[in-house]
Every structure is written in C-alpha cells, then in structure tokens.
Amino acid sequence: MPDRRLDVLAIGNAIVDVIANADDAFLDREGMHKGAMRLIDEAEATRLYDAMGPAREASGGSAANTVAGLASLGLSAGFIGQLGDDQLGEIFTHDIRSLGVAFDTPPRGDVGATARCLILVTPDAQRTMNTFLGAAQMLSPDAVDPAAVADARIVYLEGYLWDPADPRAAMYKAMDAARDAGTQVAFTLSDSFVVDRHRGDVLKLLEERRIDILFANEAEILMLAGGANLDAALDAIAPQVATLVVTRSEHGAVARRGDERAEVPAAAIHALVDTTGAGDLFAAGFLAGEARGASLETSLKLGAICAAEVIQHFGARPEADLKTLVGDLLD
C-alpha cells in the first residue's frame, strides 16, 4: 500500500461510555431488548443515568474504539468526530490523544452536549446500549479535510453515524476524497438497525464501488442480502465489494476477497465478561493486517485476537498490550 502518514483515519461518533451492571429484570422494567442499541434523547439519558447502578466512565464510540485498538497494535491512526464544548468533550479529547491517536476536530458550542452511551451489562456478558448522540450527530462535512484522507492508507467509516444528514454528507465527502487519492474505504454496518433503516443506501454504495472493505456480523449480512443462510448472503454480497468480512461471535469470522475465502475460529478466552467493543476491536485487528499487507487469513486472526482481549474485561478499549498479544503476526 502507498506510504502515508496514517495507517487508518476513522470517522465516527465521539461518545463517552457509561458502563454499569444490570440484571434482566432491570432491562424488562425499562422495556429494553437485551443486546440491542437504541437512540435516546438528553432527557431520557438523564433519567436512565439516575436509575442505573454504580458506573464507570470511559471514552468510547465504535470507530474511536477501533482506532484505540490500532494504536495499541502500534499503527498510526487518526479520528474525526464532533464534541460539544463541555467537560465530557475535554475528557474524550484527552483520552484519545493520550493513546497517540491524531484528533484535531475542534469542539463546538452550538451543537449541544457531548454524546454519551449508557451501557448495561447483564450477567451473561451481553451489553444493552442506550445512546444519546448529542453533538456527535452534528459532525459537519467541513470537519473532513480531503488532504487528511489522502494521507491515510485506509479511511474507516462507522455505520452508526450514517443516520443524521450532516455526518452522512461528511462520509460521502471522505469517500470522494479517498477515491481521488487511492485511499481504501472501509465501512462497518455497526448494527442491524442501520441496515434496516439504510439498506438501500448501503446497497447503492456497494453498487457504486464506494466501499473497498465491508464489515458485518452474521445478522447484519443476512439482513443486507435478504438471504436465508450465511453462504447465500456471502455469495450475494461478496461480488459487490473487494473485501467482505463477517464476524460470527463464538463461531469466529469469515472473509471473501474475489475467489478467495478465509475462515478462522474465535480466539480462546479464559472468561467472557463484557462483549462491549468486540466488533470494534475485531475491526482494529483486521485493518492492522490490511494496512501491513497481511494475508486475508492473518488479518482475520489478528481481528479474532483483539476481539478476544476486549471481551475478557469491562469496557470497549484494550487493557492488554495488543502488539504483544499478536506477536509476529504483524511483522
């Protein structure tokens, strides 16, 4: 791949995660579907925060978690995301820069409060997310510098941010700049609700060849393809994108690139604690492999190792040194 300042430049929601334990009864009382993500307004975020048990706060957001993983792997990464001009915004900025991630998007005082995600973790390690997008959904196309896109090997786009008009326009701008610069575009579907709401948009992006690497989990790819089984879905979508990557939780992951198919099992773990960030860290490992020119199978193995690390503790950011964990796979 061409020599660039950044291995990966990600665009996504700039969010502070608030993580607390909860039982199934709490989810039932609140009318939540376990394992799902719902969008809430600021008033509901305040009410739910008051109802939650003791929590820990950490900077988050799907694509931001991915670049945190990339930094832990020793790659150069940047992030674009909108913050409010408030204390949570300052916390997010400090956290992401402390990892060595390039982050230059200035906070704004006219876009409301910094986004936060209230995450409830049940005893089975499933996470149920309640997201107030706040300032994050106000990301303007002006925040995307085509020169920054051109200085990255891969630009990584978060599907969660596709819903609001301004961030969607910002991502279109990034895709156009990437095409002009020969930068690869990676896109993650993020959640089944994204596919449900924007299936036509995603299929059009694939038809127009705007996406080079597509990430999905099994439920998302089945919904996108309208297929009854995984193999049929892979056959339907793989010809439309250079690289298709599908994660399958405890069943590992599979990827297709042209006539090539690679599949790996999930990496071994000692204990499942919290699945928050599993897909984000899988993407970090896979993108690290792609940026370093690794084989398709090696990139999948890197993703599996990174995902396994993050699900063995609370929170969506790696706690172990991922570069040490993957060993010579990135050499």
- What residues form DSSP beta bridges with 245? 215, 255
Is residue 86 within 8 Å of residue 113, measured between CB atoms? yes
Q: Which residues of the chain have pLDDT under 50?
A: none
Where are the extended beta strands (E) located within the chain?
6-11, 15-21, 37-39, 55-60, 77-80, 102-103, 115-121, 127-132, 152-158, 184-188, 213-217, 243-247, 253-257, 260-264
pLDDT of res. 7: 98
Position 146 scores a pLDDT of 97
Tokens of 278: 């599993």
The span from the CA of 35 to the CA of 24, in Å, is 11
pLDDT of residue 2: 59
> What integer pLDDT is reported at residue 1 of this predicted model?
54
- Tens-digit pLDDT profile for residues 13-25: 999 888 899 999 9
Map out the domains of the chain with their CATH numbers. 6-14+61-111+135-326 (3.40.1190.20)
**Sheet holding 55-60: strands in order across?**
37-39, 127-132, 115-121, 15-21, 55-60
Phi, psi (deg, nearest 5) at residue 120: -105, 120
What is the structure's pLDDT at 28? 96
The whole-model pTM stands at: 0.90
**Residue 241 phi, psi (nearest 5):** -145, 145
Q: What is the pLDDT of residue 91?
A: 87
